[in-house]
Structures are given as C-alpha cells and as structure tokens.
Structure 1
C-alpha cells in the first residue's frame, strides 16, 4: 500500500519562504568538506577561504564563564525576551566606551545571532510590498529574508568608485523613495567601510526623509585603517544590528543584539516573545564574559591584519590585481573578469586543482558577480601565507 504523496502532487500550497534562494557559500563549504575528506595523508590540505567564520574559538574567559555556570548548577531557563539585564547593560557600556554614544539598556535587545535580529527588524519596520534599498554586492540573506517576508529588495549597483558602498546621491535618485535602507560597514563581501562622515550623512538623510535605516555593524571591532562609527550616534530612528560572531569569535553560540529606536522597542519585544522566546541563556552568560576578553580579541584582530597584509601583497603577484579596499571584516573582494566570466566554475576548478576554497561573486551580486569572487582570511595565518603561492602556480600552470 503506497504512502501519501508529496504535497506538490496533492496540490497543496507551498509558501513564499519555500522559494528563498540558496546561500551559495554553504554549498561551497559542503564541496570543500567533501574534497578535504578525500585527501590522503601527506597530501596538501584544503585552504579554507570561503567561509566568514573565525578560525579561533570563543575567548577563554567566555568559555570558562559558561563552564562555571553549568558546573555550579545555574538554571539555564528562559530569560526575558530581550535578554539578561546584565548583558544588556554591558552592551550599553560598550557604546559609551567605544563610540562615546549613550544607548540605554532598555533599547537593546539580545537576539539569536544577527540572523535572528534581521527578521525582527524587518517585520517591525516594514510592511508587505515595502521596498528596501541596499548596495550590491550585498550579504545574500538581506535580500532573501526580505523576499521571504514579502518585501522587495531594491539593489543599488556599486563599484570601486564608491568603494562598493551606497551614497546619498544614489538614495536621492530613487523614485519612489524606499521604505528602508540597509548599510553595512565594514561590509560583506567587499570589506570596505563608510567613513564616519558618510555614515552620518546617510543616517541624517534617512531620518529627515522618513526612511528607516538598518545599519549592519556585525564586523565592528575588525577594522584596520578607518575609524568605526555607529548609526546610533547619528540618528534616533536607525536600527543597529550587531553580533558576537565575528570580533568576539562566537559564531556557534548564536548570540547577537539590536539597538532599537524608541518607537520599535515594544513592537520588537512582542515579536521576539512569539518568535524566539529568548536567546540561549548559556550563550548570554558567555557573551557577557567575552566583552572583557580584550587582550585575546585584539590578538585575533592583529592576526587578521597580518593575513590581510600578506594577501594584499601576494594576490596581485599571483594574478588577482583588482581588489577592493580591504578596510575591515576579513574579506577580499577580487574582480577576476580578466580571468573568467564564470566565477562559480572558476571557484570549482580552483578547489579541485589548487585546493583553495573561495566563494563565487554571484552569491553576493547575481547581475555582476560572475566576474568577482570573495576570499576570506579569517583562517590560520599559515594557510593565508601559503595561498598566493598556490594560486600563482595554478594560474601559471
């Protein structure tokens, strides 16, 4: 006797979210894992330059705080929807110390990573059909989450002339005006930053024109040549997204935060109560401790800087000589149009033949990404030092 047929054969409805595009870097990770599994002992390994995940783990103080809480029988139940009060106060103190900006703990929401923060922000700020502008190239889940929620991503094609960042002039040219704007500084995939003056100008334009600004600041702490600025210092209506995944090296702990304007505090809290209840309790304890692990975290940042500098010297010598300004984060955005117009195929061959995993640009810019790829340099320094030589030998055959 046959079982039930799949829903599509029964004519059942499939929701909008079921059609969200794939996040292709995850496919690259799977391919690199499979390739690594087939390498015999003694053969060169795979250099992992595809994923934006720090090679270091959580700071020692964070791991020890979590272990101590578990050992002492700390009850790991639900917290308030916006998180532990002590963690929110510690985040508030970071804004005072790092940005000289007052952000009350009452306007801070601890979230299930930045990935959990974006749906909360989008649902609270926008309605179905609203247009939300962002630079292209962009972090794919921005557009994919918006689309799944019934909103409309509005792409602003950017290039090296604006450091792959949007400008006020681009926003002024939009007709009709969007309901929102997303900026990221440092940005993924290009690693470029807005100057404090540029961020301030965009924030003021958005506030003055009734456009909700969402500022992705998850790579703050990882900047090398330019000062960091927060949109919270420039606009009372902006939403700020941040995370413990990158600078604090806690990707798998799934912990992030939002800085909210007054009018969205209660709406986001209601959404968070229903959608997530709270971020993981143990992760919140670890995150609070991580904020005082400055020496270890700054040592990680120094290692990223060294890797970045090695690649900025070595990649042009290997043939990758059209590179975006790598101001922050841990990415290099390379124009490979002189080598290929098929970045997915190019990355597949690079993995198979050179043993280097990188992410094709089409993940970040479907229209122009076939001539770009992204290298991540948050892996071991020795691997980053080896990469240019491997690439040079591969390309020169």
Structure 2
C-alpha cells in the first residue's frame, strides 16, 4: 500500500485495508472489520424472495432510466418521506451512487470544470473527478465546527478559487456530520448566489440520529440528487442507486446512461423496488447502528482517541490518533497486522491532514465492535 499518486490518483485505502485483512483471514486468523461502510446485515428477507422468484425471467435490459415500478416507488418515497412531488421521469436508476457521480459530472459540467468538495470527504470524489479530467477545489472543514459545511465556507473557497459545482454529502463520510434544514438552506442559497451547481449526495439518508434527514429537493429543484440502496437498505453489493435530475439535465443524463451503462442491473432494480417497502426492517438495522454508535464512541474515548460527541449520522467515527501516531496508514497497518482490527487511515479522506485521523465503521455487529475495542486495548498498552 505504498503506491505513489499518478496524476493525483490515489488508492482507495479502505479497500486496500480490506484486501490486506482478507489475506490475513486466509491464514486462519480472525479480523474485526471496521474499515468499510458496509452493513452487517443482508437485505430484508422479502427482497431476497422477490429476486429468487424473478430470476428465471429477469435476464434482459430495462429502460435506460430504470423500471417504471422502481421509479414510481421512488416518487412515492419522496412524497412520503420528504413531502415533495417528484416526476418519475426525472428519476434515473444507476449502478450505485458511483455511476451517479460519473453521470452527474458529465451531465452538468464540461471537461475541465472545477468541482468543489469538502476535506475530509469521501475519497472516490477526488479520484473520480481527477480520473475524468475535472478540476477540484477543496473546502477544509474542522472538528471545532463539528465538521459541518456552511455557506460562509463555500463563499470563502469560491472567492479564493472559483468553481462551477459543489458536491456535498449530509450525513457525510467519514465524519458522520449532518447539517440541519437551516444549514442546508444556507448551502443551497449560497450556491444559487454564486452560480454553483449543487450535487447533493444523500446516500446516508435515513441514517440520521437527530431527526429526519432533509433532502435538498425540499429546498430547490436546481440540485442534482444522488442516493443509493447500499447503506440504509443494506444492499452494497447489489450496485443500485438513483438520481433525481433538474429538468434541464434529464435528457442529457439519459443519453449518457444509455451509452455508458445501458441500464442498471435488472435483478437489482427488482430488489430495490421491494426494498422501498421494507423500511421497518431498515429501521431495525438503524437501531443497531445507533447502539453501536454510543458503544464505539465511548470505547474510543476511554482508549485515548481524540473524539468528540457521537456522529450526527451515517455509521462512522472519525477519531484523532495524536496520542499514538502521526502516520495514520502505518498505524492502521500495524493495528491490523498485530491486533487483527481493520480500520481506515485518515489519508483516504484528507490528503493534507488525514495522517492524524482514522475512520471506524460501526455498521457491523455489536460483537465485532466489542471485540475490536478489547483487542485495541491490549494493542495500545
């Protein structure tokens, strides 16, 4: 994991740590997996049953935008969860949020355009933008402000280095920070004033522990909304997500989908259609994350990690390691090799200051977190 960046591209260290952990497990040792943001439970049983029934017939492509049943279900989701009316024709089903980012960038911007992202932030933002030939403006966030982005942050960054778009997540990865309605309105208003196109990454919606998640759709119809079934609905490997597009971008996005991806996987779309009706199951999983959230936060604090109050949402703890190391990658590799605990180095999320942080995922089972804390207690001594 010593790859040097080529044209700015860096490895996705969470996946590098996972690969290293799998190699350790192949020798017969056990590993506590706190490195990837992957729910520890499978999709709802009815999802699996529906896919099993559909398997013999569901072999072909769908409409490039996705199954009518799924897009109608998503329109109903926005009506029920966010009290907004969404035309199913403005919804595009994608191969996870990852494909949604690619389509969004190429739909809303021309090659070479500069897109702003937060630091720390999801590493695929940086690497995807660089790989596609776009420029990046990073907006630094601080623990002092709970890692939350503000309109003032956006305006200051834009004055220093103008940009065409802003990609923003709430709740966020790796910090779990979320803005409230007033905070999101501030961000929306600032983007409008500056002529910046907002891309709202809402993949962790439903996993907000302070109250209902607020969608940018409740405040504006000019933003591109990206979401996924991976996190809340426990469907990471199914690679199924969606976009809600402003009217002026719908046709271009559809054309790009036709040519880049053809359509999202048929079986995954069928699974997602059923998953939308299984929110009770999803809420049961969320209750487990909520308990893990407190357990992990308290445990890390007791071990000497620099960590404040539990995260607002998602299922991550972003913790300072200044008491132990100033090299997060080396710290994570040694922790994995010697204690069998897999966590992600902060350099994944912040190339400037991430050496002082690591990210823990509490999306797995409680027993894994308890064992990880016990192993780290021995390791840190």
Normalising by structure 1, report the TM-score: 0.91
What is the SS of the residue equivalent to 2:105? helix
Q: Provide the C-alpha distance between the structure 1 equivalents of 2:273 and 2:346, rounded to a whole number of angstroms.
A: 35
Equivalences for residues 287-306 of structure 1 within 5 A: 287-306=272-291
Taking the aligned partners of 1:178 and 1:325, their CA distance within structure 2 comes to: 32
Contact (CA 8 Å) 1:323, 1:332: kept in 2 or not?
no
Q: Any gaps of 5 or more consecutive residues in structure 2? A: none
| Residue in 2 that maps onto 1:201 | 186
2:101 aligned with 1:112: no
Distance 2:308 2:32 in 1: 20
Partner residue, 2:9: 20
Match of 1:142 among 92, 108, 125: 125
Whether the 8 Å CA contact 1:135–1:164 is kept in 2: the answer is no
Q: Is the 2:294–2:310 Cα contact (8 Å) retained in structure 1?
A: no
Write the deviation string for residues 30-60 of structure 1: whole angstroms up to 9, x where unpaired: 11111122235xxxx2110001111111211
* Aligned CA distance change for structure 1 residues 295 and 38 (closer, same or farther; 3 Å): same
C-alpha offsets along residues 66-97 of structure 1, whole Å, 9 cap, x if unaligned?
11112xx4242111111001100101111111
Is 1:32 the counterpart of 2:21? The answer is: yes
Q: Does 2:336 align with 1:351? A: yes
Instruction: Summarize deviations over 1:282-302 as a string: whole Å, max 9, x none.
Output: 110110001111221111111
Deviation string 1:217-247 (CA, Å, 9 cap, x unpaired) is 0011111124310011111210010000000
In structure 2, how many angstroms separate the alpha carbons of the residues matched to 1:348 and 1:324? 26
TM-score between the two structures when normalised by the length of structure 2? 0.95
**What RMSD over aligned residues (CA atoms) do the two structures have, in Å?**
1.6
In structure 2, the CA distance between the partners of 1:267 and 1:324, relative to structure 1 (3 Å rule), is farther
**After the TM superposition, which residues 179-328 of structure 1 pair with which residues of structure 2 at under 5 Å, given as runs?**
179-323=164-308, 325-328=310-313
Gaps of 5+ in 1: 1-15
In the TM superposition, residue 25 of structure 1 has moved relative to its aligned partner by 1.1
Following superposition, which runs of at least 4 residues in structure 1 exceed 4 angstroms of deviation? 16-19
1:321: how far off? 3.6
Closer, same or farther: CA 78–181 of 1 in aligned 2, 3 Å: same
Deviation at 1:393, TM superposition (A): 2.0
* 2:365 alignment partner in structure 1: 380
Counterpart for residue 82 of structure 2: 99
Once the 2 structures are TM-superposed, how far is the Cα of residue 205 of structure 1 from its aligned partner? 1.8
**Counterpart-to-counterpart distance in 1, 2:253 and 2:86:** 17
Partner of 1:82: 65
SS of the residue corresponding to residue 219 of structure 1 reads coil
Q: What is the number of equivalent residue pairs in this alignment? A: 375
1:388 Cα deviation from its structure 2 partner: 2.0
Q: Which moved more, 1:239-248 or 1:75-84?
A: 75-84
Match of 2:139 in 1: 156
Quote the residue 2:354 is aligned against.
369
Alpha-carbon shift at residue 17 of structure 1 (Å): 9.5
Give the whole-Å Cα distance in 1 for the aligned partners of 2:46 and 2:361: 26
Moved more, 208-217 or 319-328: 319-328
Question: CA contact under 8 A between 2:44 and 2:278: conserved in structure 1?
Answer: yes
For the 8 Å contact 1:324–1:334, the answer to whether it is kept is no
Residue of structure 2 aligned with 1:122, choices 85, 90, 105: 105
Q: Is contact 2:226-2:243 (8 Å) kept?
A: yes
- Superposed displacement of residue 188, structure 1: 0.6
CA distance in 2, matches of 1:236, 1:298: 28
Which residue is equivalent to 2:345?
360
Which protein has the larger Cα radius of gyration, Structure 1 or Structure 2? 1
